């Protein structure tokens, strides 16, 4: 579809930076393609969740996974006008991130119906093959009434 | 030795991310209420405006961990195994409250439910259920 990648790029820009919270956390857009999105967050002293270990807070990983799932949702239906709301988000924590290291997440919207999007995501610190967390989310699509 | 409440306050005060969120805890006996004051940097949707879904999840998870801190004898910090966050309605631009219920606490694993509300405790806007690992030495 012509213009599709422009729509995706605009979307990515908007999703990675435009909300006050993602900006406050310093989210960095990595990539977007149909149904997929990737975002990273760097380690920062004020985002530490355990002062004894200097590991980034689990809450930051939660925000990153939620946000990346939202990007994948938007990228799955980039040509359709709609807004989304998260219904639920399940996160499994495999292990804490390494001390003083940031986190990258990638999400995939693997099924989109007229009203619901189903998304999976993974987060890692150093190597993608050694995950720190996985997520599963369901989003509801609010389409404009016609 | 200081009370669990004092230890919790001390822990919260020296955790950078807790300050970043603006989270505090009020303890009355064993009942802990976590309080998250609204701040513009917590917004995830500027149209409504509404709290970021990740902020809500983090707030609920911190509440569960803080409650375990209160009910558990001093030891290693509990670690989150898994959480499911249910979003019932948008978190508006106002103060949020959360309270946790420890549904089951075993030797190694605890199951905790948390509800968060803004105006009415009986009308939660988000909820969490999760499992937490209490003793790391056995499983590591």
CATH number at residue B83: 3.10.129.10
DSSP chain B: ---HHHHHHHHHHT-HHHHHHTEEEEEETTEEEEEE---GGGEEETTTTEE-HHHHHHHHHHHHHHHHHHHSPS-SPPEEEEEEEEE-S--BSS-EEEEEEEEEE-SSEEEEEEEEESS-TTS-SEEEEEEEE--STTT-
Do the interacting molecules here have an ipTM over 0.90?
A: yes
One digit per residue, the tens of pLDDT, for chain A of length 146 reads 444 567 777 766 666 567 999 999 999 999 999 999 999 999 999 999 988 999 999 999 999 999 999 999 989 987 777 778 899 999 999 999 999 999 999 999 999 998 999 999 999 999 999 999 999 999 998 877 65
B44 vs A contacts (CB less than 8 Å): 19-22, 67
For residue A90, give the nearest of B52, B61, B84 by CB distance. Answer: B84
Q: How distant is the alpha carbon of residue A17 from its chain centre?
A: 12
**What total number of domains does chain B contain?**
1
Q: How is residue A19 written in tokens?
A: 């909300």
Q: Residue B14: pLDDT band by 50, 70, 90 thresholds? A: confident
Q: What are phi and psi of B12, to 5 degrees?
A: -60, -40
The single residue listed with the structure tokens 């300050």 is B19
Residue B114 domain boundaries: 4-139
Strand partners, A90: A136, B84
* A65-84 per-position pLDDT tens digit: 999 999 999 899 877 777 78
Q: How far is B56 from chain A (nearest CA, A)?
A: 9
How far apart CA B124 and CA B114 sit, in angstroms, is 10
* Cross-chain Cβ contact A64/B54 below 8 Å: yes
How far apart CA A101 and CA B72 sit, in angstroms, is 30
* Cross-chain Cβ contact B81/A92 below 8 Å: yes
């Amino acid at each position: 579809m012509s213009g599709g990648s422009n729509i995706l790029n605009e979307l990515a820009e908007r999703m990675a930076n435009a909300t006050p919270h993602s900006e406050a956390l310093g989210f960095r857009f990595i990539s977007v393609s149909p149904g997929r999105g990737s975002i990273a967050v760097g380690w920062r002293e004020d985002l530490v969740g355990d002062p004894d270990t200097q590991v980034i807070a689990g809450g930051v990983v939660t925000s990153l996974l939620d946000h990346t799932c939202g990007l994948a949702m938007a990228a799955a239906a980039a040509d359709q006008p709609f807004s989304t709301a998260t219904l639920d988000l399940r996160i499994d924590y495999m292990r804490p991130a390494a001390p003083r290291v940031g986190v990258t997440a990638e999400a995939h919207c693997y099924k989109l119906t007229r009203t619901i999007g189903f998304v999976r995501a993974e987060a890692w610190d150093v190597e993608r093959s050694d995950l720190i967390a996985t997520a599963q989310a369901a989003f509801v699509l609010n389409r404009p009434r016609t | 030795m200081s009370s669990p409440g004092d230890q919790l306050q001390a822990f919260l005060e020296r955790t950078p991310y807790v300050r970043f969120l603006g989270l505090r805890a009020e303890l009355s006996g064993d009942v802990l209420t976590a309080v998250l004051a609204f701040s513009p940097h917590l917004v995830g949707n500027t149209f409504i405006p509404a709290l970021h879904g990740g902020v809500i999840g983090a707030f609920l998870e911190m509440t569960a961990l803080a409650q375990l801190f209160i009910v558990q004898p001093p030891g290693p910090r509990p670690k989150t195994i898994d959480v499911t966050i249910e979003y019932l309605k948008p978190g508006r631009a106002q103060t949020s409250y959360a309270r946790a219920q420890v549904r089951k606490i075993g030797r190694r694993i605890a199951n905790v439910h948390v509800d968060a509300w803004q105006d009415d405790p009986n009308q939660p806007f988000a909820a969490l259920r999760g499992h937490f690992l209490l003793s790391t030495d056995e499983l590591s």
